[in-house]
Amino acid sequence: DGYILVKFNVLQLNSSGIVEAFREANNYVIEALADMYHTVFYPGLLCFDSNDFCIVMLRQKGRIIPFVKRYALPEAVTVTDIKEVAQKFIRDTQSLVSLLRERIYGIVLDIVAYIDDERGKAIVESVDTLFQQTFADDCDIKWTIHSADESTREICFKLYVKIKD
């Protein structure tokens, strides 16, 4: 679906949090990816630092995808487990949102969960409320619930930030 995720361990931020420069080698990697996927950086290079890595914000097909985070879930996953994961994601996300606040006019969360079907509804309602309370009316949430097998028990958050041109 055109998602591009690029991680680097080294980033250099100016006071506004916009990336000014990567090491030379990293720039080549980014340019090669941009050519390969016919993608543009917007605006410039925007990064978000989390757990000692940063994610390059790339724009493709008119969408801006700054942040994707997957979390493994325990075998006997509970609603509380999912809420804890969601709260961690919110904490990470708020740094990014506050960084770009002046240019943001909306947030879209695309959440894909691989969990037991009977737990799905309770989790959706619980986490949905959490995100709405955090981001108020600026946040649209789209859920996709898949049945979990033993190899895929995870929840994936994709954050889309709509930025003013």
Tens digits of per-residue pLDDT, 8-23? 323 333 323 333 333 3
Interatomic CA distance for residues 36 and 137, integer angstroms: 36
The pLDDT assigned to 32 comes to 46
CA quadruple 32, 69, 142, 126: dihedral, nearest 10: -170
Interatomic CA distance for residues 84 and 81, integer angstroms: 5
Interatomic CA distance for residues 24 and 31, integer angstroms: 11
Confidence bin at 84 (pLDDT 50/70/90): confident
Kindly give the pairing relationship between strand 18-19 and strand 45-50.
antiparallel
Q: What percent of the chain has pLDDT over 70?
A: 26
The pLDDT assigned to 78 comes to 73
pTM of the model: 0.49
- Give the largest Cα separation in the chain, rounded: 50
Residue 50 confidence (pLDDT) above 70: no
Q: What percent of the chain has pLDDT over 90?
A: 0
Tens digits of per-residue pLDDT, 102-158? 555 666 777 777 766 566 666 677 777 777 777 665 667 777 776 666 556 677 777
Query: 3-state DSSP: the chain helix, strand, coil percent, rounded to 5?
Result: 35, 35, 25
- Cβ–Cβ contacts within 10 Å for residue 86, how many? 23
